[in-house]
Amino acid sequence: MSEVRKAKHGGLLTAIFSMISVIYVMPIIIVFYNSFKKKIFISKRPFALPDGKSFVGMENYVSGIEKIELPKAFGYSLFITVASVFVIILCTSMCAWYITRVKNKVTSAMYMLFAFSMIIPFQMVMFTLSKIADILHLGNPVGIVIVYLGFGAGLAVFMFCGFVKSIPLEIEEAAMIDGCTPIQTYFKIVFPVMKPTAISVAILEAMWVWNDYLLPYLVLDIKKYKTIPIAIQYLKGGYGAIDMGAMMAMIILAIIPIIVFYIACQKYIIEGVVAGAVKG
């Protein structure tokens, strides 16, 4: 009887979570089929499937690409995302290794500050951040990478610290005895072992940076540099008019790369989180 109850219980949970999954996916599906409709039908019948009158084929995609200069916006988004993720992983993994291996009051305070930074609302530092970024001339694709390093460091250091605690110290001591410098020990011994957590951090940070709208809008000189989220926002016309068809099409094109990236790497997220949770 217990096995039958467990089977029924499991089937019920599967059905519930399947319905929840459909609810989460439905907005994306609605945006997808609306991207093939005339904008007047998107407003009047947003939940109706395209038919003979409303279907426009790839017209919205072609129009949207021309209006927002998608290749240029894609290039800026790609550069900022790749550079930010690379810098975050490199700097935070080194920092986490140092914090974990060097035990003193300074490193303990550093760890607490990194952990505390994760709970501070962005709105609290929004004005100060934009002012400092303007003073330091960070309103460009290279400068904003430094800003993303600051905001992404909290979570990354927290995850890396948890993983470094599970690495046997004897491995590093053996490398030191063999003549490795601290830098060589890090790149040849420690960082390769960190691979699961590094990939997990890369996925999480890439999804955040790629989809971020507010931070680039505040920091970048948007007259020169527009990431994809900012470029899509500029599909608004005069008097608040919006080309909904082109906007839907560009949203679909914007989320495709990050969805493909996530699907390809999702298995590493659980591996990295579990690996970092081996020791407290």
Long-range contacts of 101-109 (CB under 8 A, 24+ apart): 101/164, 101/169, 101/172
| pLDDT for res 273 | 56
Work out the average pLDDT over 95-114.
91
Q: How confident is the model at residue 2 (pLDDT cuts 50, 70, 90)?
A: low
Long-range contacts of 61-66 (CB under 8 A, 24+ apart): 61/35, 61/246, 61/249, 61/250, 61/253, 63/243, 63/245, 63/246, 63/249, 64/235, 64/243, 64/245, 64/246, 64/247, 64/249, 64/250, 64/253, 65/250, 65/253
| pLDDT for res 118 | 86
d(CA 143, CA 147): 7
Identify the three-state secondary structure at position 66.
helix
d(CA 245, CA 70): 15
Residues with Cβ < 8 Å from 227, sequence gap 6 or more? Answer: 73, 76, 77, 80, 212, 213, 216, 220
**Radius of gyration over alpha carbons of the chain, in Å?**
23
| pLDDT for res 86 | 96
Identify the bridge partners of residue 55 per DSSP, sorted by sequence position: 37
| pLDDT for res 269 | 66
Assigned architecture for domain 59-276: Orthogonal Bundle (1.10)
| pLDDT for res 5 | 62
Buried b or exposed e, range 176-208, using 16+ CB within 10 angstroms: eeeebeeeebbeebbbebbebbbbbbbbbbbbb
* Cβ neighbours around 45 below 10 Å, total: 14
Q: Answer with the residue of higher pLDDT: 9 or 48.
A: 48
Q: Answer with the residue of higher pLDDT: 64 or 8.
A: 64
CB 63 within 8 A of CB 246: yes
User: What is the per-residue pLDDT across 150-172, written as a single tens digit (0 to 9) for each?
Assistant: 899 999 999 899 888 888 888 88
| pLDDT for res 48 | 84
Q: Answer with the residue of higher pLDDT: 98 or 9.
A: 98
d(CA 217, CA 237): 19
Nearest C-alpha neighbor of 98 from the set 111, 85, 112? 111
User: What is the per-residue pLDDT across 207-256, written as a single tens digit (0 to 9) for each?
Assistant: 999 999 989 999 998 888 999 999 888 876 655 567 788 888 999 999 99
Percent of the chain with pLDDT over 70: 90
Does the structure show a pLDDT above 50 at 280? no
| DSSP result, 241-257 | -B-HHHHHHHHHHHHHH
Owner of token pair 């890396």? 160
d(CA 229, CA 68): 10
Does the structure show a pLDDT above 90 at 76? yes
Does the structure show a pLDDT above 70 at 8? no
Identify the bridge partners of residue 211 per DSSP, sorted by sequence position: none
Average pLDDT, the chain: 85
In the chain, domain spans: 2-34, 59-276
pTM beyond cutoff 0.95? no
